Structure 1
Amino acid sequence: MTLWTSAEAQAATGGTAQGVWSCTGISIDTRTLEPGDLFVALKDVRDGHDFVANALANGAAAALVSRVPEGVSPDAPLLIVEDVLTGLEQLGVAARARTSAKVAAITGSVGKTSTKEMLLSMLGDQGRTHASVASYNNHWGVPLTLARMPQDTEFAIIEIGMNHPGEIAPLAKMTKPDVAMVTTVAAAHLEAFEDVAGIAVEKASVFEGLAPGGVAVINTDIEHAAILMAKAVDCKLRDVEFGTHAMHFKLNDVQVQADTTVVQAETNGTPLLFKIATPGRHFAMNGLGALAVAEAMGADLALAAQSLGRWSPYKGRGVRETVQLDPVENHLTLDLIDDSYNANPTSMAASLEVLAASAVGQNAVHNRAGRRIAILGDMKELGSDEIALHAGLAHLEAMENVDVVHCIGPLMKSLYDLLPEHRRGDWMETSAEMLNGITGRLHAGDVVLAKGSLSMKLGAVVDAIRKMGHRNGQS
């Protein structure tokens, strides 16, 4: 299906289209480019113009550029604009304007991507649905997601993130959502803000993108919910609350089981029961908020709850898997919880709670029960309180049910030093160092959580644990 013709793209951006072409997708990376894509030559670590010739050679329909790059024919299929990022933003704005889709914007300190993926499962079963890929939620990810939106889309879910003050409102205004949700407000990217209240103000600015009468979906359990609710009033929005004391979507009970979370809630007094096929109270809360968004977008709530039951976490965000350690002895396994994509104190506490509630297996080799093991990396961008926030993990109630904690990074050393001797595993400066001897630290029957900020590269640790099965012939 054609996404943009050269004439449409030229009109949207005010640029100059060379040749007559049409594209079926949009790419910013030649490694994932598909034939027929419009390649967008953004400037990041490398200048995208350096890759235009390669993109065209690999089947790109055209390239969005600010000049004709070296090695590219002067009559190559191009869309030449003054600034490439601005051109992408203009495509995003035009894509939003030409569709009649109901659009939701999702932001929050924790749970944005999981909630977006929940909504994609729900709404995708009820209409043509478009959503952000992975965590494309920043100044280029939002316009890229919008620009990729087909004109016949019925539902769209746009994830919006931030690192610094003033980033969310422009992206929200570009998105023009019908519904906006704040999952939670917590100490994430705190180094750029005076306090968590400042983060709440920034998150609340997502409501500035909605027209009066739009719907603001708010987690009333968070400490600074009043800031969000006041902003919704200022923007003349209808607020829909979710949480344990919420008026609209009330969470009554959560039962976290080995591989399932069972939730009893009510919506405006009517019972609402749903299940999520992964353990975690935080997933229950995000799921309840996602159901509120789905209903606000006109979806059938009962069908949405059924779809939610078929959702599972995105890679690196709490997905749980079993690693078979022996190709013959099928009972020799360990469970791996891959939450290696990101971390802040709130999400770390939630993940440790899941680990603490996990049922361990039996280690037949050593004739004992398995252990609950946490491999934790530094949480970045926490500002002047970063040492205290890491050390504070030692006092979490969940820690009482964690058997061994391995720590990675200089900040996690503050946690490591506070751990009691019987719980203290190893401390390493980097994930690469933790890889050495990783197989000796883990045994059959164990449940292992790996979590840290993305820059700590715990994904390498996760891969090494997975390969404990590969080395024995598992594929």
Structure 2
Amino acid sequence: MSLWTSTDAAAATGGRSTADWAAEGISIDTRTLRPGDLFVALKDARDGHDFVAQALEKGAAAALVSRIPEGVAPDAPLLVVPDVVGALEALGRAGRARTRARVLAITGSMGKTSTKDMAAAALAGQGRVHAAEASLNNHWGVPLTLARMPAETDWAILEIGMNHPGEIEPLARMARPHVAMITTVAAVHLEAFADVAAIAREKAAILAGLEPMGAAILPEDLPVTPLLRDAADAVGAVVVGFGAHGMAKPLSAEPADGATRVKARILGQTIQTTLASAGEHFVMNAVGVLAALEKLGADLPAAAAALADWRPYKGRGAVEQMGGVTLLDDSYNANPVSLAAGLATLAKLPAGRRVVILGDMLELGPDEIAIHRGIADWPALDDIAVVHACGPRMRHMFDALPPARRGLWSETAAELCDRAAELVQDGDVVFVKGSKFSRVASVVDAIRKSRQTPGVETRTA
């Protein structure tokens, strides 16, 4: 069965099809387009209309456009609409409306993608699962995920993110989840929000999209937990708290060769599972996921067993052996809370010498310099032998370190890459962390190359 036919898509969007077509998937990028996809000509850094001809040459079933692009025949298979983003949103709403899937939506200041992937892995074997790819969680990522959802889906796992106020609620109302989970609330995106309470209110907006009698899976023990609970009460949600004092809580977490054996109490049931990561924050999010899946209607023991097959994306907390060193690669993104969690994980790994490589953290608002400088005073750094850093913000942290702990600092990650062989030595346990745009992830690849080992088999976002 096709994902979308020209008739169905035209009805959903109010657009005009120039020919009959049937699409098996949806693509927004000609580099990853597969034959039979509907190509959506979004305008971002480049105008997708400039790539329609290429998409059709590569076998696209049709293209969703707001005009007939130059060089494309008028009788080419097109769905012409007034606005491409609006049409994609309409396809998303139609995709959600035609399925009887049980829907889980996840937001939070950290851990959205890994938590979404945990849920998808845990549901394996319990029906047809549709989950957002990579980190598709923004104003076009959510409708794209919904539009890609087959009508016969049993379980749908969505990720909803934000950078500014007012982004989450419309996406949540589009998704209409039966269960919504907030992983945590932390001081990120402070360039756009006055304080953490404002961030919490934005995260809580996911609850506005809940279906009647839906469930809210909320972190316990946060200063803003009462605010989240008030928002859940306002929409009549069933509330399940997860955390040390929640209805879903870890009972024990034992490290085991880069993995963690977990025992937890989930809504009255005691379960055991194994996580392919050593981080405590992964343990807590796994507990929340299992609570969410129980409220979604899944088989909890089966979900706990299947969760052992989850693997973190590259750069999101995987522990690997790499040419004589142990690497904790958490380089995909960073904020002070996730940095602290990563350092706590590092402290639990057996090591001859602990080495930290840090890149700048972004979107921390007017206090960003003080926040970076303050890292040097964290007790978590007391057991770190060497700290390397890159970026102008991390320079403030680096200069405040005791001289004995200072390794190398550079203005850019590329300069650290050039000196990769100097950063680590045999027997080290190395932790790498920084915001995505610091490009500190490139240092991981440079170290790997310098130690002449192939990449590990972890997924990339």
Per the TM alignment, residue 338 of structure 1 is displaced from its structure 2 partner at its CA by 1.8
SS at match of 2:422: helix
Question: Does 1:251 find its partner at 2:250?
Answer: yes
Other-structure match for 1:421: 403
Question: Does 1:341 find its partner at 2:340?
Answer: no
Per the TM alignment, residue 264 of structure 1 is displaced from its structure 2 partner at its CA by 2.9
Q: Is the 8 A contact 2:262 2:274 kept in 1?
A: yes
SS at match of 1:422: helix
SS at match of 2:389: strand
For 1:110 and 1:452, the matched residues in 2 are separated by 13
What is the letter of the counterpart of residue 359 of structure 2? Answer: G
List gaps (5 residues or longer) in structure 2: none
SS at match of 1:265: strand
- The 5-angstrom pairing of residues 17-36 of structure 1 reads 17-36=17-36
For 2:438 and 2:118, the matched residues in 1 are separated by 27
Question: Does 1:398 find its partner at 2:380?
Answer: yes
Per the TM alignment, residue 60 of structure 1 is displaced from its structure 2 partner at its CA by 0.4
Distance 1:434 1:466, change over 3 A: same
For 1:418 and 1:412, the matched residues in 2 are separated by 10
Show CA shifts across 1:277-328 (max 9, x none): 210100100100010111111111111111112212111111222222xxxx
Other-structure match for 2:73: 73
More displaced stretch, 405-414 vs 279-288 = 405-414
Aligned counterpart in structure 1 of residue 415 of structure 2, from 417, 429, 433: 433
For 1:397 and 1:301, the matched residues in 2 are separated by 39
For 2:27 and 2:231, the matched residues in 1 are separated by 36
Other-structure match for 1:447: 429
Question: Does 1:304 find its partner at 2:303?
Answer: yes
- For the aligned residue pairs, the C-alpha RMSD in angstroms reads 1.6
Q: Is the 8 A contact 1:119 1:294 kept in 2?
A: yes
For 1:57 and 1:280, the matched residues in 2 are separated by 46
Other-structure match for 2:185: 185
For 1:38 and 1:401, the matched residues in 2 are separated by 53
For 1:315 and 1:471, the matched residues in 2 are separated by 16
TM-score, scaled to structure 2: 0.96
SS at match of 1:125: coil
Other-structure match for 1:328: none
- The 5-angstrom pairing of residues 130-209 of structure 1 reads 130-209=130-209
Q: Is the 8 A contact 1:256 1:281 kept in 2?
A: no
Distance 1:47 1:123, change over 3 A: same
Other-structure match for 1:329: none
Give me the identity figure in percent.
56
SS at match of 1:252: strand
Other-structure match for 2:341: 350
SS at match of 1:470: coil
More displaced stretch, 8-17 vs 117-126 = 117-126
Show CA shifts across 1:394-430 (max 9, x none): 2333212221111111111121122112211111111
For 2:448 and 2:312, the matched residues in 1 are separated by 17
What is the letter of the counterpart of residue 326 of structure 2? Answer: D
For 2:456 and 2:118, the matched residues in 1 are separated by 31
Other-structure match for 1:54: 54
For 1:288 and 1:473, the matched residues in 2 are separated by 30
List gaps (5 residues or longer) in structure 1: 325-332, 361-368
- The 5-angstrom pairing of residues 266-415 of structure 1 reads 266-324=265-323, 333-360=324-351, 369=352, 371-415=353-397
For 2:12 and 2:397, the matched residues in 1 are separated by 52
More displaced stretch, 431-440 vs 271-280 = 271-280
Q: Is the 8 A contact 1:323 1:468 kept in 2?
A: no
Per the TM alignment, residue 473 of structure 1 is displaced from its structure 2 partner at its CA by 12
Other-structure match for 2:15: 15
Per the TM alignment, residue 393 of structure 1 is displaced from its structure 2 partner at its CA by 2.1
For 2:67 and 2:344, the matched residues in 1 are separated by 53
Q: Is the 8 A contact 2:266 2:290 kept in 1?
A: no
For 1:256 and 1:394, the matched residues in 2 are separated by 27
Show CA shifts across 1:350-394 (max 9, x none): 11111122112xxxxxxxx4x211110011001012122222322
For 2:421 and 2:456, the matched residues in 1 are separated by 16
Distance 1:61 1:297, change over 3 A: same
Distance 1:222 1:127, change over 3 A: same
What is the letter of the counterpart of residue 165 of structure 2? Answer: P
Q: Is the 8 A contact 2:322 2:453 kept in 1?
A: no
SS at match of 1:373: strand
More displaced stretch, 22-31 vs 437-446 = 437-446
For 1:472 and 1:337, the matched residues in 2 are separated by 16
Per the TM alignment, residue 126 of structure 1 is displaced from its structure 2 partner at its CA by 1.2
Per the TM alignment, residue 257 of structure 1 is displaced from its structure 2 partner at its CA by 4.3
For 1:68 and 1:339, the matched residues in 2 are separated by 44
For 1:63 and 1:429, the matched residues in 2 are separated by 43
For 1:319 and 1:56, the matched residues in 2 are separated by 39
Per the TM alignment, residue 83 of structure 1 is displaced from its structure 2 partner at its CA by 0.3
Show CA shifts across 1:242-282 (max 9, x none): 11011x21233333444122323213444333321210100
Aligned counterpart in structure 1 of residue 440 of structure 2, from 439, 451, 458: 458
SS at match of 2:373: helix
Per the TM alignment, residue 211 of structure 1 is displaced from its structure 2 partner at its CA by 2.5
Aligned residues: 457
For 2:254 and 2:341, the matched residues in 1 are separated by 14
More displaced stretch, 351-360 vs 286-295 = 351-360
Show CA shifts across 1:111-131 (max 9, x none): 100100000101123110001
